[in-house]
Amino acid sequence: MSVLVLVEHTEGIIKKKNFEAVQYASQIAKQTGTTATAVVLGSASAAEMESLGEYGAEKVLHIADPRLDELHARAYAKALIAAAEKEGSTVIITLNDINGRAVAPRVAVKLKAGLVAGALSYPDTAEGFLIKKTVFSGKAFAFVNVLSDVKVITLMPNSFQINKGEGKATVEKLDVNFDEKDFGIKVKQVNKVTGEVSLADAELVVSGGRGMKGPENWGLIEDLAKELGAATACSRPVADSHWRPHHEHVGQTGGTIRPNLYIAAGISGAIQHLAGVNGSKIIVVINKDPEAPFFKAANYGVIGDAMEVLPKLTAAVKKYKA
């Protein structure tokens, strides 16, 4: 009956956002009088998996098939369903990230489960299973009561503070019979993220839009990011134009981030962009158009040319650090 949570890893390393999902599952398990079980797919070390105990997982089910090192949504869904059957789980959690959004609906359909996509709260179980979630790309909230027996939830990353505790999860192997067709998508090439700070885990992010004019000006974004120890991000047209790699694209169709500080230079603030960043604690907008919609979402705004403002900001940070 345990609460199940899918834990992703990159080359065996479990990233911070997963700890939040495990903690979320563990809290729901406590609420519902059960325990949390993490599901890890592919090649991960025992030590990494055991460490999930520090965030509340009592057990890890490890489905070690190396083909699962890359996302295969169909195989991932099959693995989660097999784990749910083994554990008798009625609550299944993934992150609301690119992988989770691909896997969770498949699991929900197969198990005839209600799906809450983009959960922001723990369930209120007083009268059912009431959860707050994002709607309209983060422009509004909805409260949904999930009445199906099985419930699938995708958790919005950075919704809760992560508290590391003590504990060691026990790791158990689970074998699942996959078909060739579960791996129907062939991964031809994996572009590794080379930035110094991983965007998903970054507390500080400097981001650029089409107002940066071209890739030749990205040094201004990178200089400020370097001084701050921040990750870099961009709007979708920037990634579509190949000025920046796609993994830096944030928004409705890209990554969702909730850093402490998001500095946006030359980005208009379209709703689809805001969907990925409006959970940031402090938003600083640099835009030469005083009517740019992003200013409405900003805590601080600089009306000016990013080409002039960014070097001044970088110099100010440098001076402050000296």
From CA 249, how far away is CA 238, in angstroms rounded?
A: 8
96 binds ligand FAD (CB under 6 A): no
Q: How far is the CB of 55 from ligand FAD (least distance, A)?
A: 29
Which residue from 253, 295, 311, 317 is in contact with ligand FAD, where contact means CB under 6 A? 253
Full 3-state SS string of 16-29: HHHHHHHHHHHHHH
Cβ proximity to ligand FAD: between 167 and 304 the closer is 304
Map the footprint of ligand FAD across residues 170-229, applying CB under 6 A: 209-211
Q: How far is the CB of 311 from ligand FAD (least distance, A)?
A: 12
Q: How far is the CB of 256 from ligand FAD (least distance, A)?
A: 9
Which residue from 42, 53, 100, 266 is in contact with ligand FAD, where contact means CB under 6 A? 266
317 binds ligand FAD (CB under 6 A): no
251 binds ligand FAD (CB under 6 A): yes
From CA 309, how far away is CA 315, in angstroms rounded?
A: 10
254 binds ligand FAD (CB under 6 A): yes
Residue 52 to residues 37, 76, 88, 180, 302, Cα–Cα distance (Å): 10, 19, 21, 31, 42
Map the footprint of ligand FAD across residues 126-145, applying CB under 6 A: none
Structure tokens at 64: 């070690």
Q: How far is the CB of 130 from ligand FAD (least distance, A)?
A: 29
Q: Produce one character per residue of 256-280: b if its CB has 16 or more CB atoms within 10 Å, e if not.
A: bbbbebbbbbbbbbbeebbbbbbbb
Structure tokens at 47: 């030590």
Q: Three-state DSSP class for 265?
A: strand
Question: In 151-305, where does DSSP find H-type helix?
Answer: 218-228, 236-240, 271-277, 294-297
Q: How far is the CB of 14 from ligand FAD (least distance, A)?
A: 26
Cβ proximity to ligand FAD: between 74 and 210 the closer is 210
Cβ proximity to ligand FAD: between 29 and 297 the closer is 297
Which residue from 19, 273, 283, 285 is in contact with ligand FAD, where contact means CB under 6 A? 273
Radius of gyration (C-alpha) of the chain in whole angstroms: 21
- Residue 254 annotated as binding? no
118 binds ligand FAD (CB under 6 A): no
- Residue 158 annotated as binding? no
Measure the CA angle with vertex 177, ends 172 and 179; round to 5°. Answer: 145
Q: How many of the other CB atoms lie within 10 Å of CB of 179?
A: 10
In total, the chain counts a number of residues equal to 322
Structure tokens at 119: 């959960």
- Residue 74 annotated as binding? no
72 binds ligand FAD (CB under 6 A): no
Nearest to 136 by CA among 272, 283, 295: 272
Cβ proximity to ligand FAD: between 226 and 288 the closer is 288
Which residue from 202, 297, 306, 313 is in contact with ligand FAD, where contact means CB under 6 A? 306
150 binds ligand FAD (CB under 6 A): no
Question: What does the DSSP 8-state code read for residue 9?
Answer: -
Annotated binding site, which residues? 210, 235-236, 266-273, 287
Positions touching ligand FAD (CB under 6 A) are: 209-211, 235-238, 249, 251-254, 266-268, 270, 272-273, 276, 286-289, 292, 305-307
Annotated binding site for FAD, which residues? 210, 235-236, 266-273, 287
